[in-house]
Chains A and B, each alone.
Chain A
Amino acid sequence: MTDSTFSMPAPHPKERRLIFENISKPGYDTSLETYLRHGGYESLKKALGMKPGEIVDAVKAANLRGRGGAGFPCGMKWSFIKYDDGKPHYLVVNGDESEPGTFKDRYILHHDPHQLIEGVVISAFATNCHLSYIYIRCEFPHAAKIVWKAIQEARAAGFVGKNILGSGFDLDIYVHQGAAAYICGEETGLLESLEGKRAYPRIKPPYFPAVLGLYMQPTIVNNVETLCHVKHILRLGSEEYAKMGTPGDGGTRTLCVSGDVARPGFYELPVGAVTLGELIFDLCGGLRPGRKLKAVIPGGSSAKVLRAGEKFKIKAKGPDGAMTEKEIDMLDVVMDAASLAAVGTMVGSGGVIVMDDTRNMVQVLNNLNQFYAHESCGQCTPCREGSLWMSKITTRILDGGGVEKDPATLKNVADNIAGRTICAFGEACSWPTQSFLTKFPEEFSAASAKLLN
């Protein structure tokens, strides 16, 4: 079976690999035997000796935030489930990895399935789930086979199934394949898809599937990478795990870098360990020869774009402990959720897309607009119509048919989608248009003015 060719350079001194520690070792394969030789299922044994509530507390104390995009505290999400409410609980793994620029879960699913399965069993034990589905996008056909084979191996060895390792805890895990729709990454859309329907996201409230989820029962939906972290929290202890990150955002995070850098790829780093500048110029080897940085989308295609040279005023604690305001360059922004939020964008799913000075920003935005127009599920009018209009307008500008008021029209359409839809897709499709227009106004007005001038 062929999938992504796998070559990782030796870790950069700033990297700390937990999730990718074994994957990057030569000769590491997906068999149970290999996993056991690398300390596999030891965290599960530890977990089964703990009280479920203690595991939830450990994940809370570790400050694990979801790695799928929204960054919600994982332990808090779990605590929304009442352990013994007498209802069936389900654990659903979001392996739909579809946010453009993100490509970390692909490697976990293809190269270390047992790490995910161990995380799933521990998490299901902590939340009293006895049935779990791993939702894998169908564009990963090998991953679905690899993970399913690993589940069967784990079952044969007593790590999955009835009475896991003699603990009395039962868990069945199945793989469910998607069918190429981005919206299945939205957790309630994913649940609808898993119920055999169109992936229309559900109306909120309730805001959390922990209240009403799969088959209208309490359900935990977690990203692939997030569940893998659970294993490492138990292995290292909450305190050591939390210490790696920043206050309120523990552990490591995988940043996926693509676009115009010398060394694209994924880099697993302690949360907050590098700035955007260090990531691009130090870890990724900078831009290609002779090129200058122009723009960066820091957290998956939905994240608002940053323009090279852009300055931000942020609040920082001075040496005397008092809060002072200081000005920083976009390259000095720390790659964590809080720092990126402070400059008006987000770390999202960790997909960093870098663009150099040869790139036309109208073309870039048009590419994203076409993506969102194609992927809007069509349920809410502002998004269904608006995403299509934004795509039509940027396409027309590129075809030389732009008119002077196009930038204003684009902004107006985007402003009328965000906040007016059932799910966050509305924001996701508006933010690129809003931010590209704000950050690169001269390119849009120059391209749009052609006909009328």
Chain B
Amino acid sequence: MGMNERETQSGAQVAKVTPEFEAQAEDLISRYPVSRRSATLPLLHLWQNTFGSIDDSGVEWIAARVGVGPVQVVEVITFYPWFRRKSAGRTIIRVCRTLSCALAGSHDIKEKFCQAVGVDPHSHSHGFGAPPPTAPDGEFSVEFVECLACCGSAPVALINDDLHERIQPEDVPAIVKKYQS
């Protein structure tokens, strides 16, 4: 049995993979004609965007698709801060922590976001695939991230896919409101 046909151990979980998801995965893999393994990061993004986090079934499914062992997928997940093994809030607020944003008040901004959505401002992710600190209702996660490369309009935050710039402390409640369900 070749690596690509490896059976995953958690067959029940994999039932959540729809034909549409399969097609998206195949499209991503096709962009790496030289090595399927190159599709590891794209498939991790796809899995996390679709299912919220990358659990064991995701690790096994992706490992089988790209032709590596599950551990080689886990070591990628735990290396890159973006990937997580457990779900985060529905909305993720990533405030830039690095110098230009810090000079412009990002510590205060982050604390305001934490207060507005009910995340403990002193908690932080422990890395290695841990999700960012999340409010008890599961609506929001808030974390500090490193430079978002928008230093000219500091302080900035990436909220889900959207960038917010020149955030003032008084802007925080209105920004949060936009993302409340």
Contacts and interface: CB of A to CB of B under 8 A. Distances in A.
Contacts of A53: none
B173 interface: no
A322 to B, nearest CB: 42
A100 B39 contact: no
Contacts of A239: none
A106 B162 contact: no
B103 A103 contact: no
A142 B81 contact: no
Contact of A179 (B31, B37, B80, B148): B80
Contacts of A106: 149-150
Contacts of B152: 103, 256-258, 264-266
Contact of A259 (B39, B44, B103, B161): B103
A449 B99 CA distance: 25
B76 A258 contact: no
A196 B77 CA distance: 11
A36 interface: no
B163 interface: yes
B44 A179 contact: yes
Nearest to B78: A198
Contact of B82 (A179, A182, A198, A374): A179
B99 A179 contact: no
Interface string B150-172: 11111000100111010000000
A394 to B, nearest CB: 13
Between B34, B80, B147, B162, the greatest number of chain A beta carbons within 10 A of the residue's beta carbon is seen for B147
SS class, residues of chain B in contact with chain A: mixed
A93 B114 CA distance: 37
Given A106-B149, A198-B76, A265-B152, A177 B38 contact: no
A406 to B, nearest CB: 21
A375 B145 CA distance: 11
Given A196-B41, A199-B79, A259-B100, A98 B34 contact: no
B1 to A, nearest CB: 21
Given A4-B165, A215-B35, A301 B80 contact: no
Contact of B35 (A98, A138, A196): A196
B155 to A, nearest CB: 11
Interface in B125-160: 145-154, 158
B147 A98 contact: yes
B90 interface: no
A196 B66 contact: yes
A97 interface: yes
Interface in A330-376: 351, 353, 355, 359, 364, 367-368, 370-371, 374-375
B34 A131 contact: yes
A177 B42 contact: yes
B153 A138 contact: no
Nearest to A177: B45
Contacts of A4: 150, 153, 163, 165
Contact of A359 (B66, B103, B149): B103
A100 B161 contact: no
B102 A367 contact: yes
Interface residues of A, number: 60
Interface string A293-328: 000010001000000000000000000000000000
A368 B100 CA distance: 10
Contact of A100 (B72, B75, B81, B147): B147
A131 B32 CA distance: 10
Contacts of A260: 103
A197 interface: yes
A98 B165 contact: no
Given A138-B82, A179-B81, A258 B154 contact: yes
Contacts of B39: 196
A385 interface: no
A130 to B, nearest CB: 10
Interface string A121-142: 0000000000100000111111
A105 interface: yes
A193 interface: yes
Nearest to A142: B161
Given A2-B163, A371-B98, A139 B149 contact: yes
A157 B63 CA distance: 37
A199 B40 CA distance: 13
Contact of A181 (B34, B35, B79): B79
23 contacts: A1-B161, A2-B163, A4-B165, A100-B151, A102-B149, A106-B149, A106-B150, A137-B149, A138-B82, A177-B45, A179-B41, A179-B44, A179-B80, A196-B35, A196-B37, A196-B76, A259-B151, A260-B103, A264-B151, A264-B153, A359-B103, A367-B98, A371-B147
Interface of B: 31-35, 37-42, 44-45, 66, 68, 72, 75-76, 79-83, 94, 97-100, 102-103, 145-154, 158, 161-163, 165
